[in-house]
């Protein structure tokens, strides 16, 4: 029973740490566990306890998203100073890796592109290269940073775009891979304009 109790504590501890809990009053925590398991009267109602936990989780989320936003803004501010980086009025930044010689797309065109998207920490969240197949999509059906940026390219070009959150996935992010307020980096190769 001692080992099992300790093991259960470890599992709960890992779960709490994953939720952002970095300190706890062990005596109160143990008392609450004991009260619930043995059916004793708890110091809080279930609703009160749930509200306290919800408030904590909301605060943790707000702090995390603020940190991501600040990190992205700092990254873009420093990146804008680098040689070869062009900053557009919208806040979109880009560098030319290779110029193209073909036609330039309009926002209403369908384009075929190879691309790789990363967070500012270098973590890849999407890559047509890794899938081994370029993507075809309407240019006005993607994030605003892509719609604006790819129109600057000619077929055969490869650019690197640095996209502020408001031209990317905004305050919501996208799935598990892209957090809210994340600035993104995309290497984009415009293969062709599809007719």
Q: Looking at residues 25-42, what average pLDDT do you find?
A: 90
Active-site residue, 75 included: no
CB-hemisphere CA count at 13 Å for 126?
A: 16
Q: What is the CA radius of gyration of the chain?
A: 24
Output the DSSP codes for the chain.
-HHHHHHHHHHHHHHHHHTT-----HHHHHHHHHHHHHTPPPSS-HHHHHHHHHHHHHHHHHHHHHHHHHHHHHHHHHHTTSTT-EE-TTS-EEEEEE---SPPPPTTSEEEEEEEEEETTS-EEEEHHHHTS-EEEEGGGS-HHHHHHHTT--TT-EEEEEE-GGGTTTTT-BTTTB-TT--EEEEEEEEEEE-
Active-site residue, 24 included: no
Q: Which of 29, 75, 125, 137 is catalytic?
A: 125
How does residue 61 score in pLDDT terms, banded at 50, 70 and 90? confident
Q: Which of 68, 143, 178, 193 is catalytic?
A: 143
73: number of Cβ within 10 Å: 15
How does residue 124 score in pLDDT terms, banded at 50, 70 and 90? very high
Q: Which of 115, 159, 161, 162 is catalytic?
A: 115
Q: The pTM is what?
A: 0.79
Active-site residue, 125 included: yes
- Nearest alpha carbon to residue 79 among 98, 67, 96, 95: 95
- Nearest alpha carbon to residue 94 among 105, 84, 102, 106: 84
Active-site residue, 29 included: no
- Nearest alpha carbon to residue 93 among 108, 75, 110, 105: 75
73-97 residue pLDDT tens: 999 999 999 999 999 999 999 999 9
Distance, CA of 194 to chain centre: 30
The pLDDT assigned to 138 comes to: 96
Q: Which of 29, 35, 109, 126 is catalytic?
A: 126
Which structure tokens are listed for 85?
């980086």
Q: Which of 94, 162, 181, 186 is catalytic?
A: 186
Active-site residue, 143 included: yes
Q: Which of 159, 161, 165, 169 is catalytic?
A: 169
Rounded Cα–Cα distance for residues 190 and 112 (Å) = 6
Active-site residue, 126 included: yes
How does residue 69 score in pLDDT terms, banded at 50, 70 and 90? very high
Which structure tokens are listed for 109?
């065109």
How does residue 185 score in pLDDT terms, banded at 50, 70 and 90? very high
131: pLDDT strictly greater than 90: yes
């Amino acid at each position: 029973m001692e080992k099992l109790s300790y093991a259960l504590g470890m599992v709960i501890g890992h779960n709490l740490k994953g939720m952002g809990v970095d300190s706890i009053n062990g005596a109160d925590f143990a008392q609450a566990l004991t009260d619930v398991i043995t059916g004793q009267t708890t110091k809080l109602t279930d609703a009160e306890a749930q509200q306290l936990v919800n408030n904590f989780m909301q605060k943790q989320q707000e702090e995390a998203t603020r940190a991501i936003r600040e990190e992205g803004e700092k990254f873009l501010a420093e990146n804008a100073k680098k040689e070869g980086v062009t900053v557009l009025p919208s806040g979109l930044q880009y560098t030319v890796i290779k110029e193209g010689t073909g036609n330039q797309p309009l926002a209403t065109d369908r384009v075929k592109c190879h691309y790789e998207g990363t967070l500012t920490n270098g973590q890849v969240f999407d890559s047509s290269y890794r899938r081994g197949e370029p993507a075809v999509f309407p240019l006005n059906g993607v994030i605003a940073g892509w719609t604006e940026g790819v129109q600057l390219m000619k077929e055969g070009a490869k650019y690197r775009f640095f996209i502020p959150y408001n031209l990317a996935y905004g305050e919501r992010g996208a799935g598990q891979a892209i957090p809210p307020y994340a600035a993104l980096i995309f290497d984009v190769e415009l293969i062709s304009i599809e007719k």
